[in-house]
Amino acid sequence: MSGVAADRDVCVGAGMCVLTAPDLFDQDDEGLVVLIDESDPDPALTQRAVLLCPSGALRVTGN
Amino acid sequence: MGEVLTDRLPLFPFLSPGDDPFTPVTGADLRRLDGPVTRVKLPTGGWTWLVTRHRDVKQMLRSDAFSADAARPGFPLLRQSPPQSAEGRRGGFIRMDGEEHLRLRRMLTAEFMIKNIRRIEPLIGQVVDDALTAFQAGQRPADLVAGFALPVPSLVICHLLGVPYADHAFFQQRSVVLLDRSADPLAVRDAVAGLRSYLGRLIEDKRAGATPGDDLLGRLITERVRPGELEVGELIGMALLLLIAGHETTANMIGLSVLLLLQHPHVWERLRGDPAQADAVVEELLRYLTIVRQGLPRQAIRDVEVGGRRIRAGEPVTALLSLANRDADVFDDAEEFDPYREAHQHLAFGFGVHQCIGQPLARAELRIALTGLAARLPGLRLAADPADLPKRDNSIVYGLSELPVTW
Ligand code: HEM
Ligand code: SF4
C-alpha cells in the first residue's frame, strides 16, 4: 500500500495541497497541513500535490 | 567571489517590447542568454546568475542554500539600497531566512488559508459589485485601473487588516515609490518611514482601545502582542508587507488580464460559465502574465549546483519566474495564452518557503473581479491604442498604470 506523509515542521501553510486535493488534505487552526486520508485513494492526484507543495513537506510513502 | 567582467553581459532586468506587454523577454535579449543559468549585469553595477528553467527555479527556491536577506553584502539589488535602519526592516519576513522567517510567517498562515478566504468571498463579491456600480455610473471612457483594478484589492486588504480605506491615497502613493526601482533611495526611505509611522499610530490606537477589533491586526494584537510573543515593531513590518503585497499585485493582475482578455473575446464566455472554468482561466492568466517580472533575488550561502552550474557561496542569484513559466518542457506552446490548458504548475507565486502566502486571496479576488466584469460589462472595449498604454517597466510588480476603456 502506498500512502502519503506530511511533515508539519516543514509546512509553510501555502495551501497548495488543499487546493489540489481537498479530500486528502486540510489545514488546522495554525494553517499547517493535516492529512484527512492517509490511504492515498488517487495516487496521481497525490503525486501532483507532492510536486506542487512549495516547501517539500509532502512525500509518498510505502511501496 | 573573483573578478567577473560585466561589460559584455546582457543588462538585467529585461523590458517587454513597448507595444507588447505580454512578452516578458524579447527575442533579442533571449538570444544573448548564454544557457539556462547564466550571468547578467545588474543596474547597480554588479552581476547575478539568472536561473530561467522551470525545474531549476523550483530547485533553487526550495533549497536552503540560498538566502532572501537583502541586507547581506553582495545581495543582487536592482536599485541602490536606501540607508535603511534595522528598525526599518523589522517584521518584513519576505526578506528573512530560516526560523526567523517561519516564526512570523506562521502567525499569518491560518488567516489566509483557503477555508478562511472562502468565508470572505461574499465580502469580495460585494466590493466588486459596488465598484462596478460606481464605475458604470461614471463617465466613458474611463480608466479601469483607477476605477476598478486598484480599488477592489485595496478595499479588501484594508478590510482584512483593519486599515481605514479613506487613507488609500496616502499608502498607494508610497507603495508605488517602494516598488519603483528607478526611485531615489532617499525617497524610498521616506516612503518606508511614512508608512511605518502611519501603521504604528494605527496599531497604537487599536492597542489603546478596550477591544483591538475583529480584524487581522486586532487579532494579532490580542493573540500575539499582548502575551509578549510579538513586538509592535515587528507587527508594523508585517502590516506594511501585507498592505503593499495585498493590493499592488492583484491590482496589476486585474489590469493586465483585462487588456489580454479584450484580445480573446471567447474567453469572457468561459468566465461567464461555471466557477471551475473561471479558476482555470485565472491560473493561466497567472502563468502567462507573471507580473513579478524582475524575478526573485537570492544569495548563495554555500556552494551549490543549479542547472549544471556551480554557484559559489556569496554569489548572487535571480530566479526568473517569467521565463520559467514559459518553459517548453513543462508547458506545451508555452508562448500561447491558452485558457484551456493545465497551468497549475506555474511559478507566478514563487516556490519554496516564501511562496506567496496571499495566493488564496489573490485567486479569489481575480476570479470574482473578472467574472463580475464579464457579467456586468459585456460590451467592454479598449478606448486607447494598446501601444500607447503606460507600462510599469521599472516596478517590481509589472502592469499598466492606466487602462482607458469604454462599454
Ligand atoms: C496575483 C497576485 C499575487 C502575486 C503574483 C504574488 C506573488 C508573490 C511572489 C512571487 C512571492 C514570493 C516572493 C519571494 O519568494 O521572494 C510572494 C510572496 C508574498 N506575498 Fe504575494 N502575490 C500576489 C498576491 C498577494 C496578496 C493578495 C497578498 C496579501 C496578503 C500577498 C502577500 C504576500 C506575502 C506576505 C509574501 C511573503 C511570503 C514569505 O516571504 O513567506 N501576495 N507573492
Ligand atoms: S502544500 Fe505543502 S507547504 Fe503548503 S500547506 Fe500543503 S504541505 Fe504545507
Cα separations in angstroms, B144 against B73, B161, B282, B371, B377:
41, 25, 19, 15, 12
* Cell 561589460 -> residue: B7
Chain A residues touching B106 at Cβ < 8 A: 12-13, 30-32
pLDDT at B83: 61
Report the residue among B109, B349, B355, B370 best suited for mutation to probe ligand 1: largest number of ligand atoms under 8 A from its CB.
B349
Residue range B352-387, pLDDT digits in tens: 999 999 999 999 999 999 999 999 999 999 999 998
Residue from A7, A3, A59 nearest A32 by CA: A7
The interaxial angle of helices B359-376 and B232-262, nearest 10 deg, is 40
Q: What DSSP character marks residue B404? A: E
Instruction: Find residues 31-50 of chain A whose CB sits inside 8 Å of chain B.
Output: 31-32, 48
- Answer positive or negative: Cα dihedral of B206, B208, B213, B216: positive
Report the residue among B101, B163, B249, B366 best suited for mutation to probe ligand 1: largest number of ligand atoms under 8 A from its CB.
B249
Cell numbers representing residue B106 in the block: 506562521
Q: What angle do CA B371, B342, B14 make, to 5 degrees?
A: 85
Residue range B98-137, pLDDT digits in tens: 999 999 999 999 999 999 999 999 999 999 999 999 999 9
Cell numbers representing residue A1 in the block: 500500500
| Ligand 2: nearest atom to the Cα of A14 | 4
Nearest-neighbour CA in chain B from A60: distance (Å): 18
Cell numbers representing residue B255 in the block: 489590469
The interaxial angle of helices B151-161 and B359-376, nearest 10 deg, is 140
Q: Return d(Cα B370, Cα B384) in angstroms, integer.
A: 20
Contact B142, B136 (CB under 8 A): no
Query: From the DSSP assignment, how many helices (H) and strands (E) are in chain A?
Result: 2, 4
Q: What angle do CA B282, B288, B291 make, to 5 degrees?
A: 90
pLDDT at B173: 92
Q: Which residues contact B227 (CB under 8 A, 6 or more apart)?
A: none
Reported in sequence order, the residue ranges of B296-371 that DSSP labels E, i.e. its strands, are 296-300, 304-306, 309-311, 316-319
Backbone angles phi, psi at B309, to 5 degrees: -100, 140
Nearest Cα residue in chain A from B360: A15
| Ligand 1: nearest atom to the Cα of B112 | 30
Cell numbers representing residue B169 in the block: 491615497
- What's the B118 CA to ligand 2 centre distance in angstroms? 18
Nearest-neighbour CA in chain B from A34: distance (Å): 13
For chain B, give the mean pLDDT. Answer: 94
Cα separations in angstroms, B141 against A35, B165, B403:
51, 25, 10
Backbone angles phi, psi at B51, to 5 degrees: -105, 120
Is B401's pLDDT higher than 80? yes
Q: Return d(Cα B341, Cα A18) in angstroms, integer.
A: 21
Reported in sequence order, the residue ranges of B91-173 that DSSP labels E, i.e. its strands, are 142-143
- What's the B238 CA to ligand 1 centre distance in angstroms? 12
pLDDT at B96: 97
Strand B404-406, strand B381-382: pairing: antiparallel
Residue from B174, B114, B167, B192 nearest B361 by CA: B114
How crowded is the C-beta side of B257, counted as CA atoms within 13 Å? Answer: 31
pLDDT at B2: 54
Q: Which residues contact B217 (CB under 8 A, 6 or more apart)?
A: B161, B162, B163, B202, B203, B206, B235, B239
Contact B117, B101 (CB under 8 A): no
Is B84's pLDDT higher than 90? no
Residue range B7-55, pLDDT digits in tens: 889 999 999 988 899 999 999 999 999 899 999 999 988 999 999 999 9
Is A2's pLDDT higher than 80? no
Report the residue among B356, B357, B392 best suited for mutation to probe ligand 1: largest number of ligand atoms under 8 A from its CB.
B356
Q: Return d(Cα B405, Cα B259) in angstroms, integer.
A: 9
Residue B210 — very low, low, confident or very high, per pLDDT cuts 50/70/90? Answer: confident
The pLDDT of A27-50, averaged and rounded, is: 90
Residue B174's Cβ-count burial label (10 Å; 0-12, 13-18, 19+) is: buried
- Long-range Cβ pairs for the range B307-312 (8 Å, 24+): B307/B35, B307/B36, B307/B37, B307/B51, B307/B53, B307/B55, B307/B56, B307/B59, B308/B37, B309/B35, B309/B37, B309/B49, B311/B37, B311/B49, B312/B1
- Residue percentage of chain B with pLDDT more than 70: 99
Phi-psi region of B308 (alpha: psi -120 to 50; beta: other; left: phi over 0): left
Note the CATH number of domain B27-406. 1.10.630.10
Nearest-neighbour CA in chain A from B104: distance (Å): 11
* Cell 543549479 -> residue: B306
Which ligand is in closest contact with the Cα of B359?
Answer: 1
Q: Return d(Cα B166, Cα B58) in angstroms, integer.
A: 40
Inform me whether the C-beta atom of residue B355 falls under 8 Å from chain A C-beta atoms.
yes
Chain A residues touching B62 at Cβ < 8 A: 54-56
pLDDT at B8: 86
